Amino acid sequence: MTNACNQKLALFGGPKAVTLPPGDIFTWPIITQEDEDAVLDVLRKRAMSGTELTKQFEAEFKAWNGTQYALGYCNGTAALHAALWACGVGPGDEIICPSITYWASAVPALSQGAAVNFADIDPESLCIDPNDIEHRICKRTKAIMVVHYAAYPADMDPIMAIARKHNIKVIEDVSHAQGALYKGRMCGAIGDIGAMSLMSGKSLAIGEAGMVVTNDRLLYERCIAFGHYERTGLASNYNVADKQVTDSSLTPFIGLPLGGFKHRMHQMSSACGRVQLKHYPQRMAEIQKAMNYFWDLLEGVPGIGSRRPAKDSGSDKGGWYAAKGRYYPEQLGGLTCERFCQAVTAEGFSTGPGTNKPLHLHNVFHTGDSLNAGKPTMIAFTERDVRQGPGTLPVSENIHLYTFRPPWFFKYNEEIIQEYANAFRKVALNADKILAADKEAAGKK
């Protein structure tokens, strides 16, 4: 390992650190004959639009996730939208959401006529900063949207305490963290309701699909009422004789979806989901072993940090969706993250800086008129203007300078993983040479 790091950087014509073919180490999801058979069976039975398989998948999912209820969705965006509605988010209300996340954590609030009050993130976890929440709460705040960003479990304890104190709901967006643990508890089972994507790029990948999980019977029934017309009045695994609808306001609407949405999961996804879920714990364990091995190899290397919960914390990163590393330029003489990533890319692993772009600066949240109301939705139904311009969320706005994308290994192979770790180590240990060369090049201009 150290030998490789003594060689000339590939950026300057030296040998690449990564030489071995990666084989299937980056292939995800893992699809076998079992998935193919399950999906073909749906097709052959012409059962693409039913709910039987989805209900079986939901039963298995909630048992695994440790919640009383699970409800399948056509995608994660729809699941999040339903969760927001179930939590009572309506015109003129506000939700609090981190600015660094995929847009679907926030934009569906606009579909409800609500505004999004974006909070900053913690620079180490990249999740919502619990200290940047409470001062944003007002009497119209209905929910805190927590995102376990890039698989790191958000700090739920202080967030739940704030929410309970102010009597507002906590929605967990678990799209990046299926199976991840926060202090021994499953992400998605800690807040009032969890909603997630299960689309093909996520760590639990079953096609276009989503899931809502909750222990709250009323929230579950409201989700059904909003977009599962054929299940209204007979909540998921309850039969017709057991119409225990607890919210009497929902009973008159049996048979039609209150939200006007159709959120049913495609049964080819449900079929694939059942197979994927069965193998997920074991595949997740292999990812954890591989990713922890990679970061163990890089422990103590200046400039880079593993961004993983402490080993004895009871928290972990589940399937390590879209792993991110932390970058500390001050430890490498000020070498920028972008330049660092170029040098690592030259070593044979294509990487880049950054995360999702901050949402609070996007026009959708400034001038977007999602409801054709003739006014930006953010101010259409409220006196309070919570739109945030540049400089308001400094960590979110600058985090691309301090994060990079490491490899996401799905298989444990020491030889291969060592080479990728070498690529990062070699560049970090030779940062001074890059700085010197760049300075010389700049001087010549």
**CB 180 to ligand PLP: min, Å:** 13
Q: Is 67 a binder of ligand PLP (CB under 6 A)?
A: no
Q: Which of 93, 94, 122, 173 binds ligand PLP (CB under 6 A)?
A: 173
Number of residues that bind ligand PLP (CB under 6 A): 15
Q: Which of 55, 140, 176, 266 binds ligand PLP (CB under 6 A)?
A: 176
- Among 56-64, 173-181, 267-275, 346-354, which window interacts with ligand PLP (CB under 6 A)? 173-181
With CA atoms as reference, report the closest residue to 337 among 355, 354, 357, 358.
Answer: 354
With CA atoms as reference, report the closest residue to 281 among 203, 190, 183.
Answer: 203
With CA atoms as reference, report the closest residue to 264 among 222, 220, 188, 210.
Answer: 210
Q: Is 359 a binder of ligand PLP (CB under 6 A)?
A: no
x/- mask, ligand PLP, residues 115-154, rule CB under 6 A, reads --------------------------------x-------
Residue 185 host element (H or E): strand 185-186
Residue 142 has which token pair? 């209905």
Q: Which of 67, 75, 117, 388 binds ligand PLP (CB under 6 A)?
A: 75
Interaction residues for ligand PLP, span 179-198 (CB under 6 A):
197
Cβ-based nearer residue to ligand PLP, 172 or 347: 172
Residues 6+ apart with CB under 8 A from 439: none
SS3 category, 152: coil
Q: Is 175 a binder of ligand PLP (CB under 6 A)?
A: yes
Q: Which of 51, 67, 101, 269 binds ligand PLP (CB under 6 A)?
A: 101
**CB 209 to ligand PLP: min, Å:** 7
SS3 category, 445: coil
Cβ-based nearer residue to ligand PLP, 199 or 421: 199
Cis status of the peptide bond prior to 29, with omega within 30 of 0: yes
Q: Is 269 a binder of ligand PLP (CB under 6 A)?
A: no
- Among 100-108, 131-139, 293-301, 415-423, which window interacts with ligand PLP (CB under 6 A)? 100-108
**CB 105 to ligand PLP: min, Å:** 5
**CB 61 to ligand PLP: min, Å:** 15
With CA atoms as reference, report the closest residue to 215 among 64, 70, 84, 81.
Answer: 70
- Among 171-179, 372-380, 413-421, 436-444, which window interacts with ligand PLP (CB under 6 A)? 171-179
CA-only gyration radius of the chain, Å: 23
Cβ-based nearer residue to ligand PLP, 197 or 422: 197
The owner of tokens 């059904």 is 224
**CB 79 to ligand PLP: min, Å:** 8
CA distances to 87, 213, 221, 252, 303 from 67, in Å: 17, 6, 14, 28, 40
Q: Is 199 a binder of ligand PLP (CB under 6 A)?
A: yes
Q: How far is CA 31 from the centre of its chain?
A: 22
With CA atoms as reference, report the closest residue to 128 among 101, 107, 110, 163.
Answer: 101
Q: Which residue is nearest to ligand PLP (CB)?
A: 76
Q: Is 105 a binder of ligand PLP (CB under 6 A)?
A: yes
Distance CA 143, CA 87 (A): 7
With CA atoms as reference, report the closest residue to 189 among 171, 163, 202.
Answer: 171
Q: Is 276 a binder of ligand PLP (CB under 6 A)?
A: no
The owner of tokens 């292999």 is 286
Look at strands 181-182 and 115-119 and give their pairing. Answer: unpaired
The owner of tokens 């989805």 is 54
Cβ-based nearer residue to ligand PLP, 38 or 100: 100
List contacts with ligand PLP (CB under 6 A): 75-77, 80, 101-102, 104-105, 147, 173, 175-176, 197, 199, 210
